[in-house]
Structure 1
Amino acid sequence: MNRTLYTALFYLGLPLVAIRLWLRARKAPAYAKRIGERFSYGMPAMKPGGIWVHAVSVGESIAAAPMIRALLARYPTLPITVTCMTPTGSERILALFANEPRIQHCYLPYDLPCAARRFLDRVRPKLAVIMETELWPNHIHQCAKRGIPVALANARLSERSARGYGRFRKLTQPMLAEMSLFAVQTEAEAQRLRDLGARPETIEVTGSIKFDLTIDPQLLERASQLRGQWQALERPVWIAASTHDGEDEVVLAAHRQLLASHPDALLILVPRHPERFNSVYGLCQQQGFATVRRSSGDAVSADTSVLLGDTMGELLFLYALADSAFVGGSLVPNGGHNLLEPAALAKPVLSGPHLFNFLEIAAQLRSAGALQEVDDAEGLAIAVQRLFELPRDAQRMAVAGLKVMRANQGALQRLLDGLGRLIER
């Protein structure tokens, strides 16, 4: 399939796109808003001539934030346009850069030639930076026609994704050849991109910028103060973060098993997607757990068994409240989520076996003794209980995680150097 056929199929599929938006809007009403932006209509006022950064959703937006702040400091006269595809990503971008007048934001239009042209005519960037794996052939082609260099930052490409791209080589190879920089996390990903048709001279192994996460000391102080207010400084607290459908039942079963030996244990349960907050709260109540919603502002008491993390932008703070952390998206075949956030906070890290989106990071943490994988509710309960009862083991895991973080830092600077060469050439 070449780009012409891809575009024709995209146009033919627009009714399905509309149905998908409608279905999503039933659970998350924000999907019904700003639809014009998805076709490059009704966009906010944009100052042209800066840098365009695309981060598809919340996780990519958070990962991109240090890079964006560094670009703001390095290029003090340039505006930066940050796009995404989801309402939660939009909300996160607006919160992250609320006090930065040079940040401008809209949804990325759908990958149609007419929409891509209108978007680029409005923004006219000097450089396009795409976070991780979000590749859109028409947007990239329109950038190439205008001489706008396109970089894939913090690039990751799993073996499964590479096989998928490989099935459409006539579409993928020309698209990759039009790009100017692939700042990849590992050599394995670099080789996959070479095999798919990326020009070797455009590929640099920079590492993952997620290792460059810095923790504000005030975050840890606020977490300690809140646990003190809860009278929970000595209480065993664990977090299950970024959980997906099918994982919450497993986590709650593990927590019920934990309560048999530690009746004062507190679980902080954080669903990955906001549209699931209400259903997970209902699940907790249905199963008889005394549950407090973080969004309610109610205090956690000695009788509270579960704190539902149903707020946006607080995940690091919620990690800081806990003694150990389970990272979701890994008990179901979703590929996992960022294991480095709890590691950076010196928390022992637990996960399920499905980590195909973070194979290299997981391998490093596992080899260092900073990550333990579990398969089911019983395994999760046993692992958390061990960390509660053997604080020296928990401390060893925490220290090992911090060592892995420090050993891999520097990717952000290498990425910025590569982007600088594209802007200044």
Structure 2
Amino acid sequence: MLRALYRALWWLIAPLAVLRLLLRSRKERGYREHIGERFGRSAGRRPDDAAPLIWVHAVSVGETRAAEPLINALLAARPDARVLLTHMTPGGRATGEQLYGERVLRCYLPYDLPHTVRRFLRAWRPALGLIMETEVWPTLIDECRQMNVPLVLTNARMSARSYRRASMFGRATREVFGGFSRVLAQSPADAERLLALGARKVTVLGNLKFDMDTPAETIARGRAWRAAFGARPVWVAASTREGEEALVLQAFAALEVEHALLILVPRHPQRFDEVAALIEKQGLRCARRSSWGSAALASGSDGIAPLPDEVEVLLGDSMGEMGAYYAAADIAFIGGSLLPLGGQNLIEACAVGVPVLIGPHVFNFTQATADAVAAGAVIQVQDWSELARGLQALFNDRPQRTAMGAAAAAFAARHRGATARTVEVLLTLLP
């Protein structure tokens, strides 16, 4: 009965979903493009294409970047195979284009209606499907099972909050999670919750995000920016969400550090103008990354003009440069965590070797945060005032900053290897 109700609801909300795409496209044009793909009307494969197709679904930017080492390893292990990358957001699609170019095929995942999912599966004929992290679509899982497409929940995580919500649906939830051919979990706690929800063949393989490499040229770009900032103290507030920027700016105002520079990087590109207006409203002098430091780094040359001394906030309004922002900073704060939003990935900052501060709301990254705190790489704060005090203490204590940065790099290196373990399992499922 719940399945029938779920499908009926999709029939009702599909027109509203298209309207929502059009409304969102006013801020991010990509939402009005390729709408047909969201109903399974994508190009698909040529009828004579017999290469095994590995389909990877990565909903947005974070999942797309996390999939990079896995996709590269799969293509290296099976050069005869092709990869289809699906997304739900234009940001994820743009990131996929930036990372992989023509090496992979791409389209949007269709809405979870039986006929759209069947159209998608018949057009692409995947030999194996991989769903990254937490995306669970009941109709998609059911149709893959009926069409004998092995579907693997990869790099799977299940927070305590999500587990409580999913448990409310009882048998229906167990049928959904039982539809995955394999579940490859990030941690024992994730695996335990997924098993309780009905998942079968659950294996703990670690977190793929530890295997993400920040390119050397990205690090070099960040180091060049740091030189252009001069000797002033620098901190980055990364992947901030709506409502958090005001709290970050409060912490910045309370900071008693002379001539400090804040690099503020909103998570969603459509909010860049909104955040710029907020910074100006606070009376702070702001520069945009898109209009500063755009000179290409020549080999062995920084090629970047100094940032004007009067600039107090550098707005990170660029894509694909998070590693550079971390490399340019003395301290990193990870957004999505001052408000109950679940947090964002702290692993990339740790891998660059920068000390990290993070807020209390990290239910999407509970294990990684706990491990990083235990390793001495991360300090968890409870609100904006604690964030200000934590920044103050670190800016005043260079040896502690150095020790935390070293601990962060060691923590990230120690947890690598999930990609190789995942590929080993996935190759057994490919024809």
- Give me the TM-score of the superposition, normalised by structure 2: 0.93
Give the counterpart letter for 2:106 in structure 1. Answer: H
| CA contact 2:288–2:316 (8 Å) conserved in 1 | yes
Match of residue 375, structure 1, among 379, 382, 391: 382
| Counterpart-to-counterpart distance in 2, 1:221 and 1:275 | 27
Residue-by-residue CA offset, 1:293-312 (whole Å, 9 max, x unaligned): 11123552111111100111
Q: CA deviation at 1:45?
A: 5.9
| Counterpart-to-counterpart distance in 2, 1:296 and 1:171 | 52
Three-state SS of the structure 2 residue aligned to 1:53 is strand
| CA contact 2:342–2:365 (8 Å) conserved in 1 | yes
Q: Which moved more, 1:392-401 or 1:53-62?
A: 392-401
Q: Which residue pairs with 1:88 in the alignment?
A: 91
Indicate how the Cα distance of structure 1 residues 43 and 170 shifts in structure 2: closer, same or farther if over 3 A, else same: farther
Give the counterpart letter for 2:239 in structure 1. Answer: S
Q: CA deviation at 1:245?
A: 1.1
Q: Which residue pairs with 1:11 in the alignment?
A: 11
Q: Which residue pairs with 1:277 in the alignment?
A: 272
| Counterpart-to-counterpart distance in 2, 1:132 and 1:287 | 38
Q: CA deviation at 1:44?
A: 6.5
Q: Which moved more, 1:40-49 or 1:282-291?
A: 40-49
| CA contact 2:244–2:338 (8 Å) conserved in 1 | yes
Give the counterpart letter for 1:345 in structure 2. Answer: V
Residue-by-residue CA offset, 1:313-340 (whole Å, 9 max, x unaligned): 1111111111110000000000100011
| Counterpart-to-counterpart distance in 2, 1:131 and 1:271 | 23
Q: Which residue pairs with 1:321 in the alignment?
A: 328
Give the counterpart letter for 1:372 in structure 2. Answer: I
Three-state SS of the structure 2 residue aligned to 1:13 is helix
| Counterpart-to-counterpart distance in 2, 1:225 and 1:312 | 18
Q: Does 1:418 align with 2:421?
A: no
Q: Does 1:400 align with 2:407?
A: yes
| CA contact 1:344–1:401 (8 Å) conserved in 2 | yes
Three-state SS of the structure 2 residue aligned to 1:69 is helix
Three-state SS of the structure 1 residue aligned to 2:318 is coil
Q: Which residue pairs with 2:123 in the alignment?
A: 122
Q: Which moved more, 1:36-45 or 1:181-190?
A: 36-45
Give the counterpart letter for 1:377 in structure 2. Answer: W
Give the counterpart letter for 1:217 in structure 2. Answer: A
Q: Which residue pairs with 2:393 in the alignment?
A: 386
Q: Which residue pairs with 2:284 in the alignment?
A: 289
Q: Which residue pairs with 1:53 in the alignment?
A: 56
| Counterpart-to-counterpart distance in 2, 1:277 and 1:219 | 21
Residue-by-residue CA offset, 1:372-406 (whole Å, 9 max, x unaligned): 12223322122112211211111111122222222
Indicate how the Cα distance of structure 1 residues 347 and 18 shifts in structure 2: closer, same or farther if over 3 A, else same: same
Q: CA deviation at 1:185?
A: 0.8
Q: CA deviation at 1:128?
A: 0.1
Q: Which moved more, 1:9-18 or 1:39-48?
A: 39-48
Q: CA deviation at 1:216?
A: 3.1
| CA contact 1:290–1:304 (8 Å) conserved in 2 | yes
Q: Does 1:218 align with 2:203?
A: no
| CA contact 1:2–1:170 (8 Å) conserved in 2 | no
| CA contact 1:44–1:106 (8 Å) conserved in 2 | no
Q: CA deviation at 1:227?
A: 2.4
Indicate how the Cα distance of structure 1 residues 274 and 159 shifts in structure 2: closer, same or farther if over 3 A, else same: same
Q: Which moved more, 1:275-284 or 1:177-186?
A: 177-186
| Counterpart-to-counterpart distance in 2, 1:55 and 1:364 | 25
| CA contact 1:154–1:184 (8 Å) conserved in 2 | yes
Q: Which moved more, 1:19-28 or 1:117-126?
A: 19-28
Give the counterpart letter for 1:195 in structure 2. Answer: A
Indicate how the Cα distance of structure 1 residues 332 and 354 shifts in structure 2: closer, same or farther if over 3 A, else same: same
Q: CA deviation at 1:231?
A: 4.7
Q: Which residue pairs with 1:206 in the alignment?
A: 205
Q: Which residue pairs with 2:357 in the alignment?
A: 350
Q: CA deviation at 1:414?
A: 1.0
Q: How does 1:124-273 map to 2 (within 5 A)?
A: 124-199=125-200, 202-228=201-227, 230-232=228-230, 234-258=231-255, 261-273=256-268
Give the counterpart letter for 1:244 in structure 2. Answer: R
Q: CA deviation at 1:2?
A: 3.2
Q: Which runs of 5 or more residues in structure 2 are unaligned?
A: 294-304
| Counterpart-to-counterpart distance in 1, 2:160 and 2:271 | 30
Q: How many residues align?
A: 416
| Counterpart-to-counterpart distance in 1, 2:429 and 2:220 | 41
| Counterpart-to-counterpart distance in 2, 1:17 and 1:224 | 43
| CA contact 2:68–2:212 (8 Å) conserved in 1 | no
Q: CA deviation at 1:154?
A: 0.5
Q: Which residue pairs with 2:296 in the alignment?
A: none
Three-state SS of the structure 2 residue aligned to 1:27 is coil
Q: Which residue pairs with 1:22 in the alignment?
A: 22
| Counterpart-to-counterpart distance in 2, 1:178 and 1:242 | 33
Q: CA deviation at 1:178?
A: 2.1
Q: Which residue pairs with 1:71 in the alignment?
A: 74
Indicate how the Cα distance of structure 1 residues 23 and 407 shifts in structure 2: closer, same or farther if over 3 A, else same: same
| Counterpart-to-counterpart distance in 2, 1:43 and 1:217 | 36
| Counterpart-to-counterpart distance in 2, 1:173 and 1:348 | 41
- Give me the TM-score of the superposition, normalised by structure 1: 0.94
Three-state SS of the structure 2 residue aligned to 1:241 is strand
Q: Does 1:35 align with 2:32?
A: no
Residue-by-residue CA offset, 1:173-226 (whole Å, 9 max, x unaligned): 222222111110111111111111112xx1100011112233333333332223
| Counterpart-to-counterpart distance in 2, 1:14 and 1:218 | 43
**Cα RMSD (Å) of the superposition?**
1.6
Give the counterpart letter for 2:202 in structure 1. Answer: I
| CA contact 2:222–2:323 (8 Å) conserved in 1 | no
